């Protein structure tokens, strides 16, 4: 969750003022909390009161909650939601790659879509990814590049410290702009889709809660410092992607770093989505669906699908916002709190129940507001 969204945080502060700083901290606490309660839904206590992992995936949790209504309904809803969000994330990385290449080499007579195809070619080896270990190594390299980008931006900002002024913070905010800021801040922390797989692959799952606390804490500190430093530097001139504010001699370097980051970020949502699809298709005793060749075909088809959608979906940014408002809020706030209440109701204290209900209501309001803003934007574009 130190992704490309981080580069939009200074712009979010422009439209949310001092409340944006509070939201960055609040979002970290809420997302950390929903991550913990989601993982707790994977466990049940045995006769000795010891927690035993009886479920493996987000789908298993959903099926356990909906088993009285329909044994597989919950799993279907969760899987569709997960795959939608993951595929849109993969498409976004391809679109961003094409855009960055186009801006980095403006004198090359190649269209942005062609650059996306070139970026796609470099991602073809993703069809051979079979384990999370490979993905984690790529993500590690992605994190290194991300910190280089942050370091470049913050170093430049510190050279401009003489012009910083707290007066740049606005006390009055536009409601619609504020809602956009809320979406950017909250969804910069989302990671719930990956947590069951991550916790299941840890050498010591008992350290999961501690890991979640520290990662969210450091993410919050970094996001707050970065957003505040950049906003104090450019103030009202802060652009949607903060790297666009940099001088031209730094922009090309940062754009190439962003390109590398986008390409290295692709394998994680790609791996997660293909694992979900492959597991759904090969479930049961159908041996033909369990062959390595079939798994390779699933990954190859998914890879090609992301390219085609990246090239042909119109008004992608608005559609991404609409999808994110529905799937992002559902996977991060609505479903974890709902599942936790359903599975652990008898064991929860009054305060825990109130917290879960509050998180559910907040997630619903964020989702509704995001949908309204995105649909309004789409209607304006098509009009």
Residue 32 has pLDDT above 90, yes or no: yes
Of 38, 93, 130, the residue nearest 309 (C-alpha):
93
Q: What is the pLDDT of residues 208-257, one digit of tens each?
A: 999 999 999 999 998 999 999 998 998 888 887 788 788 888 888 888 88
Of 289 and 38, the structure prediction assigns the larger pLDDT to 38
Residue 334 has pLDDT above 70, yes or no: yes
Are residues 332 and 363 in contact, defined by beta-carbon separation less than 8 angstroms?
yes
What per-residue confidence (pLDDT) applies to 314?
A: 56
For the CA atoms of 9, 12, 13, 17, the dihedral, rounded to the nearest 10 degrees, stands at -160
Q: What is the pLDDT of residues 49-61, one digit of tens each?
A: 788 999 988 888 9
For the chain, the maximum distance between any two Cα atoms, rounded to a whole number of angstroms, is 70
Q: Taken in order 170, 176, 182, 184, is the CA torsion positive or negative?
A: negative
Of 355 and 368, the structure prediction assigns the larger pLDDT to 355
Residue 358 has pLDDT above 90, yes or no: yes
Q: Taken in order 336, 338, 344, 349, is the CA torsion positive or negative?
A: positive
What per-residue confidence (pLDDT) applies to 163?
A: 86
What per-residue confidence (pLDDT) applies to 213?
A: 95
What per-residue confidence (pLDDT) applies to 37?
A: 95
Give the range among 126-135, 168-177, 196-205, 326-335 with minimum mean pLDDT.
168-177
Q: What is the mean pLDDT of the chain?
A: 84
Residue 288 has pLDDT above 80, yes or no: no
- Structure-block tokens of residue 260: 């590398």
Residue 173 has pLDDT above 80, yes or no: no
Q: What is the pLDDT of residues 139-166, one digit of tens each?
A: 888 888 888 888 889 999 999 998 887 7
Calculate what percentage of the chain has a pLDDT beyond 90: 20
For residue 332, give Cα distances in angstroms to 142, 283, 335: 23, 26, 7
What per-residue confidence (pLDDT) applies to 284?
A: 57
Residue 317 has pLDDT above 60, yes or no: no
How far is residue 331's CA from residue 193's CA, in Å, rounded to a whole number?
7
Taking only Cα atoms into account, the Rg of the chain, rounded to an integer number of angstroms, comes to: 21
Q: Taken in order 313, 177, 379, 111, is the CA torsion positive or negative?
A: negative
What per-residue confidence (pLDDT) applies to 198?
A: 86
What per-residue confidence (pLDDT) applies to 320?
A: 62
What per-residue confidence (pLDDT) applies to 172?
A: 60
- The 8 Å CB, 24+ separation contacts for 155-158 are 156/233, 156/246, 156/247, 156/250, 157/229, 157/230, 157/232, 157/233, 158/229
Neighbours of 351 (CB within 10 A): 8
Q: Which domains does the chain have, with CATH numbers?
A: 5-382 (1.20.1740.10)
Of 195 and 70, the structure prediction assigns the larger pLDDT to 195
What per-residue confidence (pLDDT) applies to 20?
A: 85
- Structure-block tokens of residue 175: 């409601």
Residue 302 has pLDDT above 80, yes or no: yes
Residue 7 has pLDDT above 90, yes or no: no
pTM of the model: 0.81
Of 340, 285, 334, the residue nearest 36 (C-alpha):
340
How far is residue 337's CA from residue 361's CA, in Å, rounded to a whole number?
10
């Amino acid at each position: 969750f130190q992704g490309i969204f981080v580069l939009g945080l200074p712009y979010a502060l422009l439209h949310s003022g001092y409340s944006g700083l509070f939201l960055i901290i609040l979002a970290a606490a809420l997302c950390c909390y929903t991550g913990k309660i989601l993982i707790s839904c994977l466990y049940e206590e045995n006769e000795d009161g010891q927690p035993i992992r009886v479920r493996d995936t987000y789908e298993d949790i959903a099926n356990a909650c909906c088993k009285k209504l329909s044994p597989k309904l919950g799993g279907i809803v969760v899987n569709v939601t997960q795959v939608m969000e993951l595929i849109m994330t993969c498409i976004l990385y391809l679109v961003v790659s094409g855009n960055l290449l186009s801006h980095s080499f403006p004198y090359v007579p190649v269209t942005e879509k062609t650059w996306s195809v070139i970026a796609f070619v470099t991602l073809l080896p993703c069809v051979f990814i079979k384990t999370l270990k490979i993905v984690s190594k790529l993500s590690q390299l992605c994190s290194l590049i991300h910190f280089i980008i942050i370091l470049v931006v913050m170093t430049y900002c510190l050279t401009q410290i003489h012009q910083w002024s707290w007066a740049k913070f606005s006390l009055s905010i536009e409601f619609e702009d504020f809602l956009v800021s809320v979406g950017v801040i909250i969804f910069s922390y989302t990671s719930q889709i990956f947590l069951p797989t991550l916790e299941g692959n840890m050498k010591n799952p008992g350290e999961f809660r501690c890991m979640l606390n520290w990662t969210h804490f450091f993410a919050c500190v970094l996001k707050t410092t970065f957003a505040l430093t950049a906003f104090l530097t450019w103030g009202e001139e802060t652009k949607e992607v903060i790297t666009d504010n940099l001088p031209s001699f730094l922009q090309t370097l940062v754009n190439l770093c962003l390109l590398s980051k986008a390409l290295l970020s692709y394998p994680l949502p790609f791996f997660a989505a293909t694992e979900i699809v492959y597991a759904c298709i090969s479930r049961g005793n159908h041996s033909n669906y369990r062959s390595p060749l079939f798994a390779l075909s699933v990954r190859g088809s998914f890879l090609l699908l992301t390219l085609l959608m990246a090239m042909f979906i119109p008004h992608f940014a608005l559609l991404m916002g609409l999808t994110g408002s529905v799937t992002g809020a559902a996977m991060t706030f609505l479903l974890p709190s709902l599942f936790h209440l359903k599975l652990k109701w008898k064991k929860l204290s009054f305060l825990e129940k109130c917290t879960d209900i509050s998180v559910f209501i907040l997630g619903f309001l964020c989702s509704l507001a995001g949908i309204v803003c995105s649909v309004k934007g789409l209607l304006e574009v098509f009009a």
